[in-house]
Structure 1
Amino acid sequence: MNILISSAGRRVSLVRAFQKELKKIYPEAKVYASDADPTLSGACQIADGYFKVPFVTHADYFDVLISECKKRDIGLLIPTIDTELLPLAQNRLLLEKNGIVPVVASSDFVGKCRDKRQIHKFFEAHNVEVAKEYSKDKYRLPLFIKPIDGSRSVDTYLIKEEKDLTDYHFQNDKLMFLEYLDHDQYNEFTCDLYYGKDHELKCVVPRKRIEVRDGEVYKALTVKNLLVDYIKKNMATVNGAVGCLTAQFFVHNTENNVRAIEINPRFGGGYPLSYLAGANYPKWIIEEFTQGKQIDQDFDCWEKDLLMIRYDDEILVHGYKG
C-alpha cells in the first residue's frame, strides 16, 4: 500500500512522518509526492519518489494523476492544499474505481469549509460562536476583512480607521466585514482534529500561534486548555468529516469566550508539532484506511506545553539539469 502526498510543495515534515509510520506497518511500502513543479519541491525531493501533475484546474489533471498512481501502486492519497480538496471529493468514485482512496471529507462538508459564510452557519448549528459579520453599510471599527473563499491570509485587511477603507473593499462581494478580535484580548489557536471514517472526533490538539510567516505557523505551543472539552462537546460528530482537520479558534484571555474562525479539512502546515507531541494521525490514517482498524478516542495522547521553533534548512539535489 503506497501513499501519495499531493501538492507536496514544502511539506517535508509531513512526508517524513508518513514515511516513518508507513514503514513500521509495511516495511516495503513507499511514500510518493506529486507537485506541479516537483524538481523544485523540497517534499518531493525527500519522498521515496515523485511525479509531475498539471494544476488541479487542468482538464487532464485526473487522467495524469490516476495514470501515475497506477504505475506506482499508490492506493491512498493525502491532499495538502485547499484548492484540490473539492475536486478530489467530487471525483472520489472515479479515484476509488481506479484503486485510489482519497483521504478527504465529503464534497458537501468541503464546500462549507471553502465558503466562510457557510462555515459560520455550520459553527452556529453546532452551538459554536463566531466573529460577527457586519453589513457594508453598518459596521464598527476596528474590523477585519477577508474573502469568503480565501486561504493563506491572502487579501485580508485590518481596518482601524475609516480612511483605510477603499472602493475595492466595498465593491468586492467576496470580501466579508467581520468583528475584529483583538490579539491583546484573545489568543489565537489552530486545532488539529482527527475524525474517523465514522465521522466521530477522536483527538484534539490546540496549538497556540506565536509567530506566522506567509500564512504558515513558525513558532507554536501545544496547550491543553478549554478548547479540548469545548470541541469534544460541540463537534463530537461532524457529517462528512474524515482524517485530519485544521480548525482556527480565538480564546479570550480572561473570559470564558471562544470564537471559531474557520476549518481547513486537511493537514495544516503546523501539524508536525502535533505529530511530534504524540498525536499520530498518519499512523491512524494508515491503520484505518489500509487495515480497516477502528480508531478509538484518545484526547490525552499528546504532550502539552511543547514549543516548536522552526528554521529554514537546505535540501541539495546533485546533478540538477533544470
Structure 2
Amino acid sequence: MSNILITSAGRRVSLVRAFKKELKQLIPNGKVYVTDFKPELSAASQIADKEFRVYKIDDKNYINILLELCVKNNIKLIIPTLDSELLILAQNINKFKDSGITIVISDEHFVNTCYNKIATQDFFENSNIRVALVYNKTNFKLPLFIKPINGSNSIDTTIVKYENQISKFHIENDELFFFEYIDSDIYDEFTCDLYYDKRGQLKCVIPRKRIEVRGGEISKGVTCNNRIKKIIEENFKTIKGARGCITMQFFMNNDEDVIGIEINARFGGGFPLSYLAGGNYPKWIIQEYLLNENIAYFDDWKTDLLMLRYDEEILVENYEN
C-alpha cells in the first residue's frame, strides 16, 4: 500500500480532498493522511483518512517523529504545505529517502532562494524580470513597503505612507528591508501555479488574478492566459532543484509591465482554482513519484474561470474542550 501524508494540513480541506480523489482513482487502496499540531482543531484533519498529532516544526524531535510515523503507516509521499517546514524537510530529504519515503519538495538551495526576499529578487533579475526597488534606509521614496528578508503570507509587512510611521526599530533592524511600493490601483496581482517534474522541467503554468484577498490568501480569483504565462515559459523552462508545485507572484499593469514579487516552493492557498481549471498537480505527483510515469507538458486548462470562496463548516461531535 502506498499512502500520502500532507503535513501541517490546517484549513487545506480542498487540497486533501483533491489528493484523496486522485489517489483513489490511481491506487484504490491508498490513503491520504495529515499531520497537525492540533488536529482536533484542523478542518482538513476531519476529512483525511487519518490524522496525526505532531510536535511543532521547531522541536528537535520533529523530523525523527515524522519519519517514524511514516514508516509505521506505509507512507511513501510527503506533501509539505507550510513555509516554515520547507527548509528542515529539504535538509532531510535523503534521511527519508533511505526509508523509501519521498518528500515532494525542491532542494535546499532553491528553498532558501524562495524564502529570502533578496535572493528571490536576484533570481528574477537574472532572468531579466523587473523587481521592486530596494531602498537605502537613508534615501527612500514614500510610500514604501517594509518587509522582513525572510517570511511569507505578508507577515510583518507594513505599508508606510508617512515618514513618522518609520521607527527606530525599522531603521536598525537588519532583517527589515525598504521596498518600492507597487500601487494596487495601477497593477493587478497574479499568483502562478507551476508544476516541475523530478528533473526540474516545467510542465504546467496557470496564472491566477487575485481579485480579492483575505488573511493573505485569495478569496476571489480568476485564471488568466496572459503575458506572465509566456514570460514564465520563456525564462523558467527548467529550474535546477525545483520539484512539484511552485507558486510565483507578479504584478502587471494594463501596459503589460511585469514585476516579479515572490516565490513559494509549495502549494499555494489558492491552488484549488488551478486544480479545478484542469491543472491536476495531485494526479501528476502520484503518477511521477508512486507510479514512476513521465509527465507531459499540459496547456489545456480553462482560462477565465472565476472562483468565489465562502466559509463552510465542519462539525465534530463529542468534542472535549
TM-score, with structure 1 as normaliser: 0.97
Q: Are 1:102 and 2:103 matched, yes or no? A: yes
1:125 positional shift: 1.4
Q: Deviations over 1:260-316 (max 9, x none)?
A: 001000000000000011100000100011111111111x22111111111111111
For the residues of structure 2 that align with 1:7 and 1:52, how far apart are their CA atoms? 10
CA RMSD of aligned residues (A): 1.0
1:135 positional shift: 0.9
For the residues of structure 1 that align with 2:317 and 2:59, how far apart are their CA atoms? 31
Asked if the contact 1:141–1:161 (Cα under 8 Å) also holds between the matched residues in 2, the reply is yes
Aligned amino acid, residue 305 of structure 1: D
For the residues of structure 2 that align with 1:12 and 1:149, how far apart are their CA atoms? 27
For the residues of structure 1 that align with 2:94 and 2:279, how far apart are their CA atoms? 30
Aligned amino acid, residue 301 of structure 1: D
Pairs within 5 Å for 1:1-322: 1-253=2-254, 255-298=255-298, 300-322=299-321
Asked if the contact 1:128–1:234 (Cα under 8 Å) also holds between the matched residues in 2, the reply is no
Q: Deviations over 1:129-168 (max 9, x none)?
A: 1111111011111111111112111111111222222212
Aligned amino acid, residue 178 of structure 2: F
1:2 positional shift: 0.4
For the residues of structure 2 that align with 1:25 and 1:198, how far apart are their CA atoms? 22
Match of 2:58, SS state, is coil
1:320 positional shift: 2.1
Aligned length, in residue pairs: 320
For the residues of structure 1 that align with 2:130 and 2:202, how far apart are their CA atoms? 19
1:256 positional shift: 2.9
Consecutive unaligned residues in structure 2, runs of 5 or more = none
Match of 2:240, SS state, is coil
Asked if the contact 1:222–1:307 (Cα under 8 Å) also holds between the matched residues in 2, the reply is yes
For the residues of structure 2 that align with 1:289 and 1:24, how far apart are their CA atoms? 15
Match of 2:131, SS state, is coil
For the residues of structure 2 that align with 1:317 and 1:301, how far apart are their CA atoms? 39
Match of 1:263, SS state, is strand
Match of 1:110, SS state, is helix
Asked if the contact 1:15–1:43 (Cα under 8 Å) also holds between the matched residues in 2, the reply is yes
Question: Structure 1 runs of 4+ off > 6 angstroms?
Answer: none
1:321 positional shift: 2.6
Aligned amino acid, residue 143 of structure 1: L
TM-score, with structure 2 as normaliser: 0.98
For the residues of structure 1 that align with 2:97 and 2:85, how far apart are their CA atoms? 16
Match of 1:315, SS state, is coil
Match of 1:58, SS state, is coil
Match of 1:21, SS state, is helix
Consecutive unaligned residues in structure 1, runs of 5 or more = none
- Range with bigger deviation, 138-147 or 258-267: 138-147
